[in-house]
Structure 1
Amino acid sequence: MAVLTQQHHLRGVILASIACILWGISGVAASTLFISNPHLTAIWLTEVRMISAGLILLIWGQLAGKHPLAIWKQPRTAWQVVSYGLLGLIPVQWCYFEAVRVGNAPIATIIQFLGPFIITFYFLFFKHVIPKRIEVVGMVMAFVGTLLIVTHGHLNSLAISPVILFWGGLSAIGVATNTLIPRSILPKFGALSVTGWGLLVAGLFLTLFQPMWRVHLTVNAFQIALLMVIIIFGTVVPFLMFAHSLSYILPTTASLLDAFEPLAATIFSVLFLNVQLTSFDLTGGLLIILAVMALSLNMHKILLRFHRRRTDS
């Protein structure tokens, strides 16, 4: 039985790791798209990705007997899935692609990786959960790492564009809202239905501002292939793998493996896009990754303290 448990744990670790690597590759594919087609906008790419992936997940859920339409039968759950799409998925995907477009995949992914610290601040200011020592240390590490990336050691000047910071910061906030908003409806309706509807709602909402069918783009076979990579191997496949991994490993373990996403984005960008990263970028990125890993080890304690406090009250 112990061997079987170890095999299941290893399977979960492998599934979650591959999922995070695929997410990192998705950012590199998006960066390649923006470079090869300057007329391509981040909002158009996000719309195509969200609507396509959302439909695929909902169809998959229907075929798997998950009854995806059930989420719309109650106004409260319907409002939550709409909030999840608009306030969670739009910043975590559209703002991330904007950061990739104006910067590069490694820096955009590392800045987005600060999302768990926003969750910590949320629990501190709104739920009055005092951070532990390891969380404070992690925050300091993340701050120093971000400072190194932003200033390259020169505190009187910025080493990266403020636009990258703006979009990357919004995508980090999106990581927090993307994690917090759907927590109460995921156990009842399942990840396929919640994420599928969230993606579809978010994608359709964005079309109100820039209808993707009105954008006239000339794309070649290579760019179409990159688009398919982003939709299938950068969204649908890693989502299913990551969700399946949670059957074998704890969410805290899975969140530690998120570190593979910025690592993959960095490695593949250097290898295939000739992105030049300085020692400040690498050191800062490593500090942020280590800080988030330290925070993730304690994240379940944060949630437990919050639930206990809510129960006692």
Structure 2
Amino acid sequence: MSKTTRGVVLALIGGTCWGFSGTCAKFLMDSYAVDPVWLVCVRQLAASVLFLAYAAAVPGERVHLHDLARTRMGGVAGVVTMVLTALCMMANSCGYVVTINITNSATATVLQALGLVVLMVYACVVARRRPRRRELAGLVLALGGTFLLATGGDPTKLSMPAAGLAWGIFTGVTYALYTAVPAKALERWGSPVVNGVAMLISGLILAAAIRPWEAVPALDTVGLAWLAIIIVVGTFLAFALYLQGVRDLGPLRASMLGTSEPISATVFSVLWLGTAFAPTDIVGFAMIVVMVYLTA
């Protein structure tokens, strides 16, 4: 298998795993009354262990882990960046799962993709330039797709709960922040280390706030299995596969293939959970997926 072919396959599988993870979360919340914030807290703590173990086991990443420990996260500036990254990650993760709980995994995943519009605007402001034609087209598609999802084409009413729309937009904004804030840290220490540490910090903050051990949901063997799948497949494995795709293809092509996430979330929601989507929803999804291609 060539490097390019491997990158395409792994990026597609990584995005699909992310979409599948959202559907698993919806299943747990609906079937076992799992609290969204509890789910995020447990996932962050467990996944942080996997990421840091991976970083410690891989020679190239181990160097970054040692450097982070030796320099104490790069001093005050590094600590601030890492804490801000953790807070952005925590806000994004909680917003995403809450949106799933109110709506469904497909809608939440698509609304999160609106963060690319925020990043586009930010890039234009920083570079002091006007948006390019394809970026403007992406903005129009994003606004149009969100309008269809929110109203079903009828501007006089909402076709989804207002709270779901608000949390979905919040998720998109925090996704943009989570992408932009750790840029220098990622360049210095790499994604496994930065994500592992940020997840650990965010998980500990949530644990201190909600005391997850005091409100453990009644999960049977099936429920525990799906929780493990969310942590291992939907978080750690999805990241690892997508990261390898980025290394093989570059960030631009990999991010385009990452649009398999909203597509897979939609397919899994329909086939597994029986979620029904109106034609306007499908058109809205398609418009936002095209927006991702134009703004990537």
Normalising by the residue count of structure 1, what TM-score does the alignment of the two structures yield? 0.89
Deviation at 1:177, TM superposition (A): 1.2
Tell me, in whole angstroms, the C-alpha distance in 1 between the residues paired with 2:32 and 2:293: 36
1:84 matched residue in structure 2: 85
Runs of 4+ in 1 over 3 A off after TM superposition: 124-127
Tell me, in whole angstroms, the C-alpha distance in 1 between the residues paired with 2:28 and 2:220: 11
Residue 268 (str. 1) matches residue 268 (str. 2): yes
1:22 matched residue in structure 2: 17
Residue 57 (str. 1) matches residue 44 (str. 2): no
Deviation at 1:128, TM superposition (A): 2.8
- CA RMSD in angstroms comes to 1.4
Tell me, in whole angstroms, the C-alpha distance in 2 between the residues paired with 1:258 and 1:92: 18
- Which letter does structure 1 place at the counterpart of 2:51? L
2:206 matched residue in structure 1: 206
- Which letter does structure 1 place at the counterpart of 2:21? S
Tell me, in whole angstroms, the C-alpha distance in 1 between the residues paired with 2:232 and 2:136: 38
- Which letter does structure 2 place at the counterpart of 1:48? V
Q: How many residues in Structure 1 have an aligned counterpart in Structure 2? A: 289
Q: Which moved more, 1:268-277 or 1:176-185?
A: 176-185
Tell me, in whole angstroms, the C-alpha distance in 2 between the residues paired with 1:263 and 1:92: 20
In 2, are the aligned partners of 1:91 and 1:173 still within 8 Å (CA)? no
Tell me, in whole angstroms, the C-alpha distance in 2 between the residues paired with 1:129 and 1:234: 37
Task: Please list every run of 5 or more consecutive structure 2 residues that lacks an aligned counterpart in the other structure.
Answer: none
- Which letter does structure 2 place at the counterpart of 1:32? F
2:37 matched residue in structure 1: 43
Q: Which moved more, 1:117-126 or 1:191-200?
A: 117-126
SS of the residue corresponding to residue 156 of structure 1 reads: coil
Tell me, in whole angstroms, the C-alpha distance in 2 between the residues paired with 1:73 and 1:284: 43
1:302 matched residue in structure 2: none
Deviation at 1:204, TM superposition (A): 0.8
Tell me, in whole angstroms, the C-alpha distance in 1 between the residues paired with 2:156 and 2:175: 29
Deviations 1:239-289 (A, max 9, x none): 111111222101010111121000000001100100000000000110110
Tell me, in whole angstroms, the C-alpha distance in 1 between the residues paired with 2:150 and 2:165: 8
- Which letter does structure 2 place at the counterpart of 1:75? V
In 2, are the aligned partners of 1:90 and 1:174 still within 8 Å (CA)? no
1:106 matched residue in structure 2: 106
Deviations 1:210-247 (A, max 9, x none): 11112132111111011001000000111111111222
Tell me, in whole angstroms, the C-alpha distance in 2 between the residues paired with 1:130 and 1:92: 28
Deviations 1:24-66 (A, max 9, x none): 000000000011112x111100000001001111122122241
SS of the residue corresponding to residue 182 of structure 2 reads: helix
Tell me, in whole angstroms, the C-alpha distance in 1 between the residues paired with 2:210 and 2:159: 32
2:76 matched residue in structure 1: 75
Deviation at 1:127, TM superposition (A): 4.8
Tell me, in whole angstroms, the C-alpha distance in 2 between the residues paired with 1:14 and 1:181: 29
Deviations 1:161-184 (A, max 9, x none): 111111111111122112111111
SS of the residue corresponding to residue 246 of structure 1 reads: helix
Residue 31 (str. 1) matches residue 26 (str. 2): yes
Residue 228 (str. 1) matches residue 228 (str. 2): yes
Deviation at 1:92, TM superposition (A): 2.4
Tell me, in whole angstroms, the C-alpha distance in 2 between the residues paired with 1:156 and 1:216: 42
1:8 matched residue in structure 2: 3
- Which letter does structure 2 place at the counterpart of 1:76? A
Would the alpha carbon gap of residues 225 and 290 (structure 1) be closer, same or farther in structure 2, given more than 3 Å must change? same
Task: Please list every run of 5 or more consecutive structure 1 residues that lacks an aligned counterpart in the other structure.
Answer: 297-313
Tell me, in whole angstroms, the C-alpha distance in 1 between the residues paired with 2:127 and 2:92: 23
Tell me, in whole angstroms, the C-alpha distance in 1 between the residues paired with 2:129 and 2:201: 32
- Which letter does structure 1 place at the counterpart of 2:211? P
1:136 matched residue in structure 2: 136
Tell me, in whole angstroms, the C-alpha distance in 2 between the residues paired with 1:222 and 1:91: 28
Deviations 1:88-118 (A, max 9, x none): x112211100000111111111111111001
- Which letter does structure 2 place at the counterpart of 1:249? L
- Which letter does structure 1 place at the counterpart of 2:10? L
Identity score, percent: 28
1:250 matched residue in structure 2: 250
Residue 120 (str. 1) matches residue 115 (str. 2): no
Residue 292 (str. 1) matches residue 292 (str. 2): yes
Tell me, in whole angstroms, the C-alpha distance in 1 between the residues paired with 2:116 and 2:56: 32
